[in-house]
Structure 1
Amino acid sequence: MAPPQTDLESTVTDDAPEAYRDLMDRYARVANLESGAGVLYWDQQVMMPTGGTPARGKQLSALSATTHEKLTSDAMADALDAAEDADLNDEQAANVREVRRRHDRNRSLPEELVEELTEQQSHSQQVWQDAKADDDFAHFAPTLETLRDLHVERAEAIDPDRPAYEVMYEDGEPYLPLERLEEIFEELKAGLVPLIEDIADSAVDLPSPFVAAGPYDDDTQRGLSDAVLDLLAYPDDRGRLDVSAHPFTSGNQFDARITTRFKPEDPMDAFTATVHEFGHASYELGLPDDRFGEPLGASLSSGVHESQSRFWENHVARTEPFWEGFVEEANDHLGTDATAREAYAAVNQIYPDNLIRVEADELTYHLHIILRCEIDRAFVEGDIGVDEIPAVWNEKMDDYLGVVPPTDTDGCLQDIHWSSRFAAFQGYTIGSVLAAQLDHAMRAELGDDRVDDLIREGDLEPLWEWMTENVHSHGRRYPTDELVEEATGEPLTAEYFLDYVEEKFGDLYDL
């Protein structure tokens, strides 16, 4: 299902304005350096021995400094000025707009700060891993505080007239205003909290036949992950599956790698993580090959990226039609005899007392996100100190979900994000909201019954093709609001997500 092209031929042709060709040649070097740094990051998370951290930090720091120098140079500024004065078509103008945005945003950053921040991020990830393994937040706290200070310094250098948190937020979501996100959060809290309460009060129990038959070794679970990736047509020549402490995706349209992790007692954790990361990879693989090295050959934002993972995880792999077609494959791998309905119920079970975000169900997940965003912002803005994070985390977990983590490993140390960046959790909820909106638009075009039949039969190519045509192929041509309207015909709204979860879980829990 991935695009069939294999030749890397750029769309920047000889008949394009000379100034535009010069600009895109310069930007391609920036993009290639960043792509190389991405491979080093993947290696650090998956393959690198832990002792390699100091050298890796220096390597990534040098790459980031070189990238920054090329992106913000006077030569790049002159090339941008010349290209903006040229006669450009719409796609060329979009490429120039995106290069301009990145150039202007980064030009005020001192190169020394860029190097220091990159090296600190590399160092912080190993410190976080050690602290998490040892349940020792105090070990991570000084590193986290240093990283926060560097990010604040960076944000203030980019725009000293706006709050640092807002500037950081725009790293991942450059075109969706923070105010709109806050409105969506309020809409979700108003709809999800009473729904979760109704489910908690219901007498319906949805036990998992897969959990009951465990534990499962890694090889068994790896076999199940490989099987679903085969069904999804994840291409062997452009991707690979590995294991990491925190599942993630890294790469581009030629090389989109994913990771998962295995829990002996619950194979559905790795299964859904694998499908989720495949969704991220599907976006990268759906980007146009001939735009590699251009903004139009890169993904748009963290929220749009998350919409793809949430679509494949929730609107495909957590549907009843999917399990009607896949349950026997799962039974063969796991040695179980679950029915399709039992499997469907098992992967959609709601458990508000769950401690871990990446293991959370489809509803309580967003309370995990809101909790993190609130702590994240309070820490960045100086309203709470680093030493207060564990206590504030536990208080909010108790308030929102009625459970208190027994350890920091299961609490404030569980996520990798704070070892690299801040103001990044919002994209997960934006993605879920947009995934439901895209699913609605897809079903309106292809037909509800046909989409269900395709999922049931394992014929998923038309779904990937629809996403590629409506989302992936555009790269960064459109800002987020315009992309959503192009794909769905209306602005981003939480309406479809709330309708979807009320119908789905109302049925499962007899509400």
Structure 2
Amino acid sequence: MAVPDTGLAATVTDDAPAAYRDLMDRYARIANLESGAGVLYWDQQVTMPSGGAPARGKQLAALSATTHEKLTSDATADALAAAADADLGDERAANVRDIRRRHERNRSLPEELVEELTEQQSASQQVWQDAKADDDFAAFAPTLETLRDLHVERAEAIDPDRPAYEVLYEDGEPYLPLERVAEIFEELKAGLVPLIEDIADSGVDLPSPFVDAGPYDDATQRGLSDAVLDLLGYPDDRGRLDVSAHPFTAGNQFDARITTRFKPDDPMDAFTATVHEFGHASYELGLPDARFGEPLGASLSSGVHESQSRFWENHVARTEPFWEGFVEEANDHLGTDATAREAYAAVNQIYPDNLIRVEADELTYHLHIVLRCEIDRAFVEDDVGVSEIPGLWNEKMDDYLGVVPDTDAEGCLQDIHWSSRFAAFQGYTIGSVLAAQLDHAMREDVDDVDAKIRAGDLDPLWAWMTENVHRHGRRYPTDELVEEATGEPLTAEYFLDYVEAKFGDLYDL
């Protein structure tokens, strides 16, 4: 499968007003600095020796400070003012709007704070990894508290009249109000909690043919990941698969790299993580090449990004039609003899007693997110001290999922996120909700999606996402993009209908 053609031309052309060309030239330098920093971050997580952390922190801090200086300079302010008076179409105006938002959001930040925060974030990556490996939350706690304080200081500098948590939330989700997210969370809790209880009471035990046949070495699982990436059309010349402590995606439309991780007793963990990260990469690869270095050539938000990973993971690779076409390939790699129905059931089992978010099933996953958002907000707002986090984590795990981790490595140390940012977990659940809405809209436009998935004919699915989501970059705010792609505002209706039908069938409800 080829990377979809966006069919869009660059907006910075000779016929553009001079003020606009000047602004975009300045912004391109900023975007290239940020892109370079992204490569250094990827290297830190994948290939950098652990002893390199102090130098990497200095490198990233220097890039961050330079980027901040250019973004908030008087020259950029003057360029924005001049561009505001120019005769621009909708697309060029969208570029200017997004640059202005970033400029105004960051211009009140002291350069020293930006540099210190970046250096602390970089250094904290290794502190977190070591603390998790040693199951030692106390070793991470001082770093976590320092990061929280720096983030709050940054939020207060951006907007001292609003709660710091709301300001930080807008780092990843600038165009979707936090109040709307809270409403969606309440709708999901109302629908998911009784569904999970019904599944637990059903007495249905789905087969686990892949788990039962283990263990599996890394090479075997890598072969399965490579096979599914080939099927999905992940391009060798614009991407690569590696291993990291926490799976992630980094890059742009020319270079979108993904990672996974391997568990000896469950190859489906790496399999679904690989497909999930491919979904993120598909978004980057679907952005218009000609707009690299512009807001219109960049992804919109964390929630929209997550919708792409959740679409490919849940609405493609966790479907029965997918396994009707792929099960023999999986059996060949793993030495198993699962049927398509058994494989489908295996990747959709519900595990209310699972401890790990990234290994959670499609339903209980969102209770993991609710837990994190609540602790995250309480910590940022100083309602919870850093030393209270492990106990509060375990208490909420017991309340929401009926299970308590034996170690902090399986509890509050499991996620990398607090070593880099706060108020960011909402995007995962928003992504699942939007993925279901996009899937519904796609099925209105594309003939027999299930047949295409069964046959491995996935080009039309990626092309639809590129046409309706990727190619727009940051042209529209989130609510407008959702309406543009699906014809209606963001709603939890399609996600709840989808999970009730799917799991009602699997668990005979």
2:199 counterpart letter in structure 1? I
With normalisation by structure 2, the TM-score equals 0.99
- Once the two structures are superposed, residues 49-106 of structure 1 have per-residue CA deviations (whole angstroms, 9 ceiling, x without a partner) of 0000000000000000000000000000000000010000110000000000000000
Runs (5+) with no aligned partner, structure 1:
none
- Once the two structures are superposed, residues 129-155 of structure 1 have per-residue CA deviations (whole angstroms, 9 ceiling, x without a partner) of 000000000000000000000000000
Match of 1:318 in 2: 318
Within-5 A mapping of 1:17-56: 17-56=17-56
Once the two structures are TM-superposed, the CA of residue 207 in structure 1 deviates from its matched residue by: 2.3
Match of 1:187 in 2: 187
CA distance in 1, matches of 2:81, 2:431: 35
2:453 counterpart letter in structure 1? I
CA distance in 2, matches of 1:411, 1:263: 18
Match of 2:279 in 1: 279
CA distance in 2, matches of 1:82, 1:2: 40
Match of 1:480 in 2: 478
Kept in 2, the 8 Å contact 1:99–1:295? The answer is: yes
Match of 1:263 in 2: 263
Within-5 A mapping of 1:331-370: 331-370=331-370
Q: Give 3-state SS (helix, strand or coil) of 1:227's partner.
A: helix
Give 4+ residue runs of structure 1 displaced > 6 Å after superposition: none
Once the two structures are TM-superposed, the CA of residue 10 in structure 1 deviates from its matched residue by: 4.4
Kept in 1, the 8 Å contact 2:4–2:463? The answer is: no
CA distance in 2, matches of 1:57, 1:446: 47
1:476 counterpart letter in structure 2? R
Q: Is the aligned partner of 1:458 residue 2:466?
A: no
Within-5 A mapping of 1:195-206: 195-206=195-206
Match of 1:298 in 2: 298
Q: Give 3-state SS (helix, strand or coil) of 2:176's partner.
A: coil
Match of 1:167 in 2: 167
Once the two structures are TM-superposed, the CA of residue 179 in structure 1 deviates from its matched residue by: 0.3
CA distance in 2, matches of 1:426, 1:207: 32
CA distance in 2, matches of 1:36, 1:387: 36
Match of 1:208 in 2: 208
Once the two structures are TM-superposed, the CA of residue 114 in structure 1 deviates from its matched residue by: 0.2
Within-5 A mapping of 1:82-481: 82-447=82-447, 450-481=448-479
CA distance in 2, matches of 1:217, 1:4: 34
Identity %: 90
Q: Give 3-state SS (helix, strand or coil) of 2:133's partner.
A: helix
- Once the two structures are superposed, residues 439-473 of structure 1 have per-residue CA deviations (whole angstroms, 9 ceiling, x without a partner) of 000001114xx100000000000000000000000
Match of 2:57 in 1: 57
CA distance in 2, matches of 1:495, 1:5: 32
Match of 2:492 in 1: 494
Kept in 2, the 8 Å contact 1:280–1:309? The answer is: yes
- Once the two structures are superposed, residues 335-385 of structure 1 have per-residue CA deviations (whole angstroms, 9 ceiling, x without a partner) of 000000000000000010000000000000000000000000000000000
Q: Give 3-state SS (helix, strand or coil) of 1:250's partner.
A: strand
Once the two structures are TM-superposed, the CA of residue 203 in structure 1 deviates from its matched residue by: 1.4
2:505 counterpart letter in structure 1? D
Q: Give 3-state SS (helix, strand or coil) of 2:242's partner.
A: strand
- Once the two structures are superposed, residues 241-288 of structure 1 have per-residue CA deviations (whole angstroms, 9 ceiling, x without a partner) of 000000000000000000000000000000000000000000000000
Q: Give 3-state SS (helix, strand or coil) of 1:404's partner.
A: coil
- Once the two structures are superposed, residues 104-145 of structure 1 have per-residue CA deviations (whole angstroms, 9 ceiling, x without a partner) of 000000000000000000011110000000000000000000
CA distance in 2, matches of 1:419, 1:11: 37
- Once the two structures are superposed, residues 179-226 of structure 1 have per-residue CA deviations (whole angstroms, 9 ceiling, x without a partner) of 000000000000000000000000110121000000000000000000
Q: Give 3-state SS (helix, strand or coil) of 1:124's partner.
A: helix
Distance 1:482 1:79, change over 3 A: same
Runs (5+) with no aligned partner, structure 2:
none
Root mean square deviation, CA, Å: 1.2
Match of 2:505 in 1: 507
CA distance in 2, matches of 1:508, 1:430: 24
Q: Give 3-state SS (helix, strand or coil) of 1:258's partner.
A: strand
1:379 counterpart letter in structure 2? F
Q: Give 3-state SS (helix, strand or coil) of 1:54's partner.
A: helix
2:492 counterpart letter in structure 1? A
